[in-house]
Amino acid sequence: MPRAKFHTLTEQMFYILLCLKDECCGMDILDKVPAMTKGRVNVGSGTLYNLLEQFLEEGYIFETKVEGRRRSYIISSKGKEMLDKEIERLIAQLTDYKNIFEEGEQQ
């Protein structure tokens, strides 16, 4: 069964949306993601612009300005809700992991 679109986020999706807490353009995002993850996560330009288009279509981000080919974006409240749900999901996974391994260490 295929995964529902945006039901869970890839690391690239997560960090693109995280970057858009503040208005920025695609080139800014390409620089910010590796900087905030200390190089652990990179986003290719094709992936970035494809995801920005999909996020726009779904209402997760807004386009704030266009200057020639340069477009700037910011996260919408719907996008922030999606990030919040992803954080809850990740915390639940971390809690499950800790419960299993802490329980296993006590035996």
Report the CATH number that the domain containing residue 63 is assigned in CATH: 1.10.10.10
pLDDT at 105: 62
Count of domains for the chain? 1
- Asked whether the beta carbons of 55 and 78 are under 8 A apart, the reply is no
Q: Answer yes or no: is 59 within a domain.
A: yes
pLDDT at 7: 81
> Residue 79's domain spans which residues?
11-106
In this structure, the dihedral spanned by the alpha carbons of residues 37, 40, 41 and 42, taken in order and rounded to 10 degrees, is: 110
User: What's the mean pLDDT in 8-33?
Assistant: 96
Q: Answer yes or no: is 6 within a domain.
A: no
Q: Is the pTM of this model over 0.75?
A: yes
pLDDT at 103: 74
**How far is residue 59 from each of residues 5, 73, 78, measured CA to CA in Å?**
13, 11, 7
| Per-residue pLDDT reduced to its tens digit, 41-81 | 999 999 999 999 999 999 999 999 999 999 999 999 999 99
Q: What are phi and psi of 82, to 5 degrees?
A: -65, -40
